[in-house]
A and B are shown apart, each in its own frame.
Chain A
Amino acid sequence: MKALVTAARVALISLVLVIFLFPVYWTVTMAFKPADEWTPTSGKIYWLPDQPTLDNFRRIFGGTPGGSASFLVSTPINATDSIVNSLITATFGSLLALVVGTFTAYGISRYRAGGNMLGFSVLQLRMFPPIAVIIPVLFLWTYLHLFDTRLGLILIYGAVTFPFVVWLMKSFFDEVPREISEAAIVDGCTQFGAFWKSVLPLVKGGLATTALFVFILNWSDFLIALVLAGNKIVTAPVFLSQINSAATGQEFGSRAALGVILITPPLLLSILIQKHLVRGLTFGAIKR
């Protein structure tokens, strides 16, 4: 009886899981389908690529798919720059948020800096729809010649993910006993020395988790890169949404190929920070 219940339970879970993973499956298989299998032209849906091909990947890296007549002639495209842009802006934006946010978090956690107000207003920032805040930033960026530059995106990514770093790192610092830094000070360290030499090493794991988490957030951004860049500097998600060709219209296969490349880093990184994922997404409110 017990075994039966468990079997039913696993069966039900598996069914739900299949539904939830189906879109991912569809993206991955689409990336390997030749153009005539992208959409069901003759009413036949291709659940698996009939003639699997790497043409979609070749296409997004500037190649002209050889041999396959299914690709109609269209201007070559190259996603390399956009992927590089995404990597650079997400990495440095995350670093900026991490450095500034960690200091702020320590100030709030250890010294109650800014009273209750600072932590509160930092979190409140997260609630505004980005589009509501970003339009004046667009004016400011145009004025400062930061519009459509990597530096501009880095600064804004740093600011946008700063609240996450503050709340996450605060939750990690809160777990470090005050005695640790006090002992270091008694041993002759400065306040900053105590932070740097004895507290920070204790939250190394938390710092790494926060870094990866914030990187995933910045890597996933679409709206900010769409508004504050998009002519010279295009990030990969924006590039993905713009792959079209005059001949075939929207190129589903090429988009899916870039999609597969885009979703890989977050999926891999999330395995590393799996233990703290909930903590990250709930601003440190739930520690698991």
Chain B
Amino acid sequence: MGIATDTTTPADGVPAVTVLPEGHHHRHISRMLILPGVVLLLLLVLFPVVMEVYISLTTWTPTSGSQWYLAYRDWTWFSNYWDGLTSPSFLHALLRTVVITIAATGIEFLLGFGLALLFLEKFLGRQVLTVLFLVPMMIVPAVSGFVFYLLLQTNGPVNYILTALLPGTVELQWLTNPSLAPISVTLVDIWQWTPLMFLILLAGLMAVPEDQIQAADILGASWYQKLRHVVMPIVKPIILIALIIRGMEAFKIFDAAWLLTQGGPGEVSSTISVKLYREAFQNSQWSYVAALAIVVMIIVSVAASQAIKPLEQRQGGAS
């Protein structure tokens, strides 16, 4: 737009160095900037989703021999959706994923918060120890799935250590016992992502001004009162962000769950992602999977639009 900026001369009564006028050139450049991004989204997201809706209304599968765009020949309206929403197996997977998400996020928060409190005061080696806590979240999930598979074998090191610590012989079947398998899946998530929670919360706690704590000390505030009235008001928005982001990611859990138990035994540890994967690639129920995927996307979108609000405020406020 070049010299066009000069329309905001003092003669117009507008200070020279303020926001540029929202002119037509302006809109032009902003369109040019976001164009590649919008194309990428349309091509790789919008089009596939439209396609998914289309296929979900049919009984088409790749094995039926015809191309996907001819799927209308097997039109069934909403029967896939009906099957999904009345299928106990799908509803259980959905419920299970919600439970795992809440449990994992909650435990990660408690552990992370406890750790962050331990790190709050300066001590020798704090920097090094903080960096070492980064390690689990940098491990490629395919590797964490694999190593927990080793650790949690019935004759593996975890049971061995538990036997050493507890009375009696511990022979827990972490991966094959129906009530333990979902717990094992949750454990991997907790191991991998507690460090993130810890880092976020530590950053939040460090932001609490020391003089406020000292002032509370002088006023004779107890440990709990300080936490409740001095620390919490400052840290609360950060806690909220940490919980939302972690919850969002935990809901998608696949890699570790798949490598650990493949959703088994039976389906007792299959999360929503594992369930969809199995239906698609083991049962070839493509149109059914498409319908389930749409249902999941609608649920996630509704949850997301609520969850994102604090994030957006934070972004807006910080800029």
Q: Would A26 and B147 count as touching, CB distance under 8 A?
A: yes
Of the 9-residue stretches A50-58, A66-74, A180-188, A200-208, which lies at the interface with chain B? A180-188
Would you give the shortest CB distance from B153 to chain A, in whole angstroms? 7
Does residue A241 face the partner (Cβ distance < 8 Å to B)? yes
Among B2, B293, B315, point to the contact of A190 (Cβ < 8 A): B2
Within 8 A of A (CB), among B5-52: 5-6, 17, 19-20, 25-27, 29-34, 36-38, 40-41, 44-45, 47-49, 51-52
Q: Would A285 and B314 count as touching, CB distance under 8 A?
A: yes
Residues from chain B with Cβ under 8 Å of A282 in the complex: 200, 241-242, 245
Residues from chain A with Cβ under 8 Å of B17 in the complex: 179, 182
Chain A interface residue count, Cβ-Cβ cutoff 8 angstroms: 109
The answer for the CA separation of A274 and B132 in the assembled complex, in Å, is 11
Does residue A21 face the partner (Cβ distance < 8 Å to B)? yes
> Given that A131-B276, A278-B200 are known contacts, is A20 also in contact with B296, CB under 8 Å in the complex?
no
The answer for the CA separation of A99 and B34 in the assembled complex, in Å, is 11
The answer for the CA separation of A268 and B225 in the assembled complex, in Å, is 42
Does residue B113 face the partner (Cβ distance < 8 Å to A)? no
The answer for the CA separation of A120 and B290 in the assembled complex, in Å, is 24
Complex interface bits, A158-189 against B, C-beta within 8 A gives 1, otherwise 0: 11001000110011001000110010011010
Among A43, A133, A159, A286, point to the contact of B40 (Cβ < 8 A): A159
Would you give the shortest CB distance from A180 to chain B, in whole angstroms? 11
Among B137, B147, B151, B307, point to the contact of A259 (Cβ < 8 A): B147
Q: Would B311 and A191 count as touching, CB distance under 8 A?
A: no
Would you give the shortest CB distance from A135 to chain B, in whole angstroms? 6
> Given that A9-B118, A103-B37 are known contacts, is A252 also in contact with B150, CB under 8 Å in the complex?
yes
Residues from chain B with Cβ under 8 Å of A192 in the complex: 29, 32
Among A21, A219, A223, point to the contact of B255 (Cβ < 8 A): A223
Q: Would B1 and A9 count as touching, CB distance under 8 A?
A: no
Complex interface bits, A261-288 against B, C-beta within 8 A gives 1, otherwise 0: 0110011001100100110011111111
The answer for the CA separation of A144 and B200 in the assembled complex, in Å, is 42
B20 nearest CB neighbor, chain A only = A182
Residues from chain A with Cβ under 8 Å of B30 in the complex: 107, 110-113
Residues from chain A with Cβ under 8 Å of B305 in the complex: 124
Residues from chain A with Cβ under 8 Å of B238 in the complex: 286
Of the 9-residue stretches B75-83, B171-179, B190-198, B226-234, which lies at the interface with chain A? B190-198
Does residue A130 face the partner (Cβ distance < 8 Å to B)? yes
Q: Would A133 and B36 count as touching, CB distance under 8 A?
A: no
The answer for the CA separation of A223 and B274 in the assembled complex, in Å, is 10
The answer for the CA separation of A116 and B305 in the assembled complex, in Å, is 13
Q: Would B191 and A23 count as touching, CB distance under 8 A?
A: yes
The answer for the CA separation of A126 and B27 in the assembled complex, in Å, is 27
The answer for the CA separation of A266 and B145 in the assembled complex, in Å, is 17
Does residue B66 face the partner (Cβ distance < 8 Å to A)? no
Q: Would A266 and B138 count as touching, CB distance under 8 A?
A: yes
Does residue B109 face the partner (Cβ distance < 8 Å to A)? no
Q: Would B157 and A278 count as touching, CB distance under 8 A?
A: no
Among A113, A131, A241, point to the contact of B254 (Cβ < 8 A): A131
Would you give the shortest CB distance from B58 to chain A, in whole angstroms? 12
Q: Would A133 and B131 count as touching, CB distance under 8 A?
A: no
Q: Would B300 and A23 count as touching, CB distance under 8 A?
A: no
Q: Would B318 and A287 count as touching, CB distance under 8 A?
A: yes
Would you give the shortest CB distance from B245 to chain A, in whole angstroms? 6
The answer for the CA separation of A178 and B19 in the assembled complex, in Å, is 8
Q: Would A103 and B143 count as touching, CB distance under 8 A?
A: no
Q: Would B118 and A274 count as touching, CB distance under 8 A?
A: no
Within 8 A of B (CB), among A86-120: 99-101, 103-104, 106-114, 116, 118-120
Ordered nearest first, which 10 A-B pairs have the shortest CB separation?
Answer: A107-B33, A104-B37, A111-B30, A237-B142, A136-B48, A132-B293, A174-B319, A159-B44, A113-B30, A136-B52
Given A23-B151, A241-B145, A263-B138, 16 new contacts (CB under 8 A): A13-B129, A43-B155, A111-B30, A111-B33, A123-B304, A127-B251, A132-B294, A132-B297, A136-B51, A136-B290, A143-B68, A171-B319, A237-B141, A240-B146, A277-B134, A286-B203
What would 11 A/B residue contacts be, using CB atoms closer than 8 Å?
A9-B123, A27-B146, A43-B155, A107-B30, A129-B272, A130-B252, A139-B48, A174-B315, A266-B139, A282-B242, A285-B311
